[in-house]
Amino acid sequence: MRTSSSLRSSRTAAPWAAAYLGASALLGCGASTTNTPAACEPRASAAPTAPTTVERRPDDPPWMEAVEALMARAAHDTQTYEHVASLTDAAGPRLAGSPGDALAVAWGTRTMPTLGLTNVRAEPVTVRAWVRGEERVDVIAPVPHRLAAAALGGSVGTPPGGLEAELVRVTSLEALRALSPELAAGRIVFVDQRMARAQDGHGYGETVPIRGQSASIAAGLGAVAVIIRSVGTDQTRFPHTGAMRYAEGLPQIPAAAVSNPDADVLARWIEAGQTVRVRLELGAHDGGEAQSANVIGEVPGSDHPEEIVLLGAHLDSWDLGRGAVDDGAGCAIVLEAARWMATAEPRPRRTVRVVLFANEENGLAGARAYAAAHREEPHVLGLEADFGDGRAWALRTPDLADRPDPGAISPRWDPIARLLAPMGVVWQPDEPHGGADLGPMHAAPPDGVAMPVADVVQDGTRYFDLHHTANDVLTEVDRDSLDHAMRALLAVAYAASLDVE
């Protein structure tokens, strides 16, 4: 929120937040690829002293009652789950540039008007398509075994007829960097590091560099291919795909992930001193340039239509599953929140703009195209939903400069934190980081326009069981936790749309 409010509540943190003050910074946790373990200590999910009703004060802002009333209405007759069902039924897997992606764009443009959104349009985005093709990965020795495996997004395929080589195992990216070229040359490097389960998803940040970087590091040592243990927390035979990239000037070798149980089998053989030979046949290839779109719709502001509260999620998904959790859930959360605001009294005073971004998974082309087209428009706040169907459990606010001290919430944001407290959502003093799709707008100039962002943090304990797998399907979506996350985001978005002097 950019303009100042008339609020004059006491400049102290709510008592239920006190237990969290002074905790280590969470900046960069969640889906970030840059955080360190030390910055990502797990936390309790809710304050033990969380209130059961919204704490009110005499000098509360006039919009607080309206937000509380809309939150109460949105506790019933929600359609969040139905939006996920509708999208996944209509479009299914929707990797950028694929036929499913085009179906998803069509779904978005025809669905938004039915939810009360206006100014609905599909803004074209050029994407680089990647095609998986047929794939098959087999253990040849010590005993025949078909691996549950999937090429990583962006990988090249194997030569015609496939390739076969002995495995050499390392248990971290650091160990891979230290591997001797004599051991790597002509072999398939198996990078075997397990991802840790955590509510804030910090295990992802710790392990996902393996997915992105292993192929080029191994290629530099003379390896012919890379297999990684899936970056995922489940114990099922669903491999987790996801983006990888090749460094300039090094050979491009095929890269695939194997499921956690398959990685366990490979590790047992190698630890027992057995020679493991694997045969890969990957049909992955570049599909050339293709057209996609950011799908945009709005609830126009009554007083300041030029000022924008941006609600983002991504419309594309990986190809293995049906993109229900990642990010059908996020699309549904922002659409349902907008549907409630379209019926709200009073109307949002600023414009609430929903953007379903193209190509988050394999290049962020949609996020960049949006920033290029809209960076001159005043964006007062950005919120992104891209962490599945988990309940909301924390709020991070962009008010660092306005806080009485770094560990106490500002008067501007304190009413919003109090509205969320009975939902079990705790305010965290950490800096919000938005999400990947808000990055190009949130970035400091000259790259971005420093759009303020807030995080409605969802519980990611289970998210990485499903993430980027064939098991990312509607059946796995939890209706109640999805609605909980929607109501929390709705509260923040509606407050931001009303909090005008």
For Zn ion, the closer of residues 386 and 414 by Cβ is: 386
The stretch among 136-144, 323-331, 349-357, 469-477 that binds Zn ion (CB under 5 A) is 323-331
Binding mask 344-383 for Zn ion (x = CB under 5 A): ----------------------------------------
Residue 31 CB, shortest distance to Zn ion, in Å, is: 8
Binding mask 118-157 for Zn ion (x = CB under 5 A): ----------------------------------------
Helix, strand, coil: what percent of the chain each, to 5? 35, 20, 45
Contacting residue, 326, 389, 430, 437, with Zn ion by CB under 5 A: 326
For Zn ion, the closer of residues 31 and 276 by Cβ is: 31
Instruction: Please give the Cα distance from 268 to 360 (Å, whole number).
Output: 36
Instruction: Please give the Cα distance from 173 to 205 (Å, whole number).
Output: 13
Is residue 386 involved in binding Zn ion (CB under 5 A)?
yes
Binding mask 173-212 for Zn ion (x = CB under 5 A): ----------------------------------------
Binding mask 268-307 for Zn ion (x = CB under 5 A): ----------------------------------------
Among 456, 442, 448, residue whose Cα is nearest residue 486: 456
Query: Cα(first)–Cα(last) distance of the chain, in Å?
Result: 11
**Are residues 355 and 338 in contact, defined by beta-carbon separation less than 8 angstroms?**
no
Residue 38 CB, shortest distance to Zn ion, in Å, is: 26
- In DSSP terms, 501 is beta-bridged to none
Residue 286 CB, shortest distance to Zn ion, in Å, is: 22
The stretch among 100-108, 325-333, 373-381, 408-416 that binds Zn ion (CB under 5 A) is 325-333
Residue 314 CB, shortest distance to Zn ion, in Å, is: 6
For Zn ion, the closer of residues 321 and 415 by Cβ is: 321
For Zn ion, the closer of residues 307 and 326 by Cβ is: 326
For Zn ion, the closer of residues 64 and 315 by Cβ is: 315
Instruction: Please give the Cα distance from 183 to 148 (Å, whole number).
Output: 25
Residue 480 CB, shortest distance to Zn ion, in Å, is: 21
- In DSSP terms, 270 is beta-bridged to none
Residue 227 CB, shortest distance to Zn ion, in Å, is: 24
Structure tokens at 149: 């495996």
Residue 454 CB, shortest distance to Zn ion, in Å, is: 18
Per DSSP, the residues of 222-286 read: T-SEEEEE-SS---SS-----B--PPTTS----EEEE-HHHHHHHHHHHHTT---EEEEEE--EE
Residue 408 CB, shortest distance to Zn ion, in Å, is: 33
For Zn ion, the closer of residues 61 and 97 by Cβ is: 97
Instruction: Please give the Cα distance from 296 to 410 (Å, whole number).
Output: 32
Is residue 316 involved in binding Zn ion (CB under 5 A)?
no
The stretch among 4-12, 322-330, 397-405, 415-423 that binds Zn ion (CB under 5 A) is 322-330
Question: Residue 471: which residues within 8 A CB-CB, separation 6 or more?
Answer: 234, 236, 238, 321, 465
For Zn ion, the closer of residues 108 and 415 by Cβ is: 108
For Zn ion, the closer of residues 234 and 327 by Cβ is: 327
For Zn ion, the closer of residues 314 and 374 by Cβ is: 314
Q: What is the separation of C-alpha 2 from the centre of its chain, rounded to a whole number of angstroms?
A: 25
Answer positive or negative: Cα dihedral of 117, 119, 121, 124: negative
Instruction: Please give the Cα distance from 500 to 241 (Å, whole number).
Output: 44
Question: Exposed e or buried b for every residue in 80-90, given b needs 16+ CB within 10 A?
Answer: bbebbbbbbeb
Answer positive or negative: Cα dihedral of 204, 484, 378, 3: negative
Q: Please report, as a single letter, which amino acid is at residue 150.
A: A
**Are residues 366 and 396 in contact, defined by beta-carbon separation less than 8 angstroms?**
no
Is residue 319 involved in binding Zn ion (CB under 5 A)?
no
Instruction: Please give the Cα distance from 331 to 313 (Å, whole number).
Output: 5
Residue 326 CB, shortest distance to Zn ion, in Å, is: 4
For Zn ion, the closer of residues 327 and 430 by Cβ is: 327
Contacting residue, 101, 307, 327, 437, with Zn ion by CB under 5 A: 327
For Zn ion, the closer of residues 214 and 362 by Cβ is: 362
**Residues near Zn ion (CB under 5 A):** 326-327, 386
